[in-house]
Amino acid sequence: DTEVTQTPKHLVMGMTNKKSLKCEQHMGHRAMYWYKQKAKKPPELMFVYSYEKLSINESVPSRFSPECPNSSLLNLHLHALQPEDSALYLCASSPGDESSYNEQFFGPGTRLTVL
């Protein structure tokens, strides 16, 4: 299995809602990433988990809360979002061994619309 899966594919939520995005991989990768991508822009790194511990937080607002329950699963909890948070949210994983290559495998993304 060389796939990263993300659910849901699309999500529409109000500014007072609480929702979660889910990402899963079964490649034995130990690093997992959340990216945000606005239209016609490159992805922006949000968070990195390495061996289930948060290793990078790119000064993301607290209304985004990541969670890594186990090495295969990564969640992004959303609360009190703003319309400008509407974007494609991409998950990725990589082997995570800092001494070797780190090709990242991307999921298909969740397209989020905040009303």
- Residues in contact with other proteins by the rule CB under 8 A: 31, 33, 37, 40-43, 45, 48, 50, 55-56, 88, 90, 92, 94, 96, 98, 101-109, 111
Find, among 90, 107, 96, 85, the residue nearest to 52 by Cα: 96
Question: Min. distance of Cβ 22 from other proteins in angstroms?
Answer: 16
User: Is 22 or 111 the residue whose CB approaches other proteins more closely?
Assistant: 111
Instruction: For the CB of residue 17, give the shortest distance to other proteins in the complex, in Å.
Output: 22
